[in-house]
Chains A and B, each alone.
Chain A
Amino acid sequence: DVKVTQSSRYLVKRTGEKVFLECVQDMDHENMFWYRQDPGLGLRLIYFSYDVKMKEKGDIPEGYSVSREKKERFSLILESASTNQTSMYLCASSFGDRANQPQHFGDGTRLSIL
């Protein structure tokens, strides 16, 4: 089974802090994604990466950056956390060049910014 592991289930940080969310997948997937999930808004794409050191902005990249130094690991960085970034953050991965393959998700990190 595909395993996408997010380093923290719950995280509480203060306004202005630099926050790192880590994600690791074990299926040699080319693509990795970061979403945030808010009630009534569904899943919104923050950033995705289709290869090591490659990144693409999603729909809501402002206030975030990402890093992908190794194929299996994709990090989301909140440069200076703000209260409006309190949310559930979901990491996902998928194959890049195979048809009919879904995304696989981690269990999320619930981040609270105080």
Chain B
Amino acid sequence: QQQVKQSPQSLIVQKGGISIINCAYENTAFDYFPWYQQFPGKGPALLIAIRPDVSEKKEGRFTISFNKSAKQFSLHIMDSQPGDSATYFCAARLGNQFYFGTGTSLTVIP
């Protein structure tokens, strides 16, 4: 059973637009929610992360919105650029383990 559900599977956005990727979870014991960015031929790299006691975290053009009551969190990429084209994974931590979404392939069209 998928512990973290991610959507959409793929996303195409115009340059300058907003990219939004959503994740949902069931286990309320998760205590840390990172997002990873992966370029072809590279491993996933930490992009931004949030704790469940915070509703929003912003780093540059990247924002996580966290809705604890709905058990959902999302990544917003403002002013999307072609260089943002990559696969994005959400994750949730429980103890020593991390549970990953299935990934979203983002393409930003110039």
Chain A contact residues, CB within 8 Å of chain B: 4, 31, 33, 40-43, 45, 48, 50, 90, 92, 94, 96, 99-108
Contact call B97/A48, Cβ cutoff below 8 A: yes
Contact call B98/A103, Cβ cutoff below 8 A: yes
Contact call A4/B43, Cβ cutoff below 8 A: yes
In the assembled complex, the CB of A47 is this many whole angstroms from the nearest CB of chain B, namely 12
Chain B contact residues, CB within 8 Å of chain A: 6, 9, 31-32, 34, 36, 41-46, 49, 51, 89, 91, 96-98, 100-103
Partner of B102, one of A42, A96, A102, A107: A42
Contact call A107/B51, Cβ cutoff below 8 A: no
Contact call B49/A102, Cβ cutoff below 8 A: yes
Residues of B within 8 A of A103 (CB): 34, 46, 91, 98
Interface centre among A42, A96, A104, A107 (most CB of B within 10 A): A42
Residues of B within 8 A of A94 (CB): 96, 98
Contact call B31/A99, Cβ cutoff below 8 A: yes
In the assembled complex, the CB of A20 is this many whole angstroms from the nearest CB of chain B, namely 19
Contact call A102/B46, Cβ cutoff below 8 A: yes
Residues of B within 8 A of A43 (CB): 44, 89, 100, 103
Contact call B46/A104, Cβ cutoff below 8 A: yes
Residues of A within 8 A of B91 (CB): 102-103
Contact call B49/A50, Cβ cutoff below 8 A: no
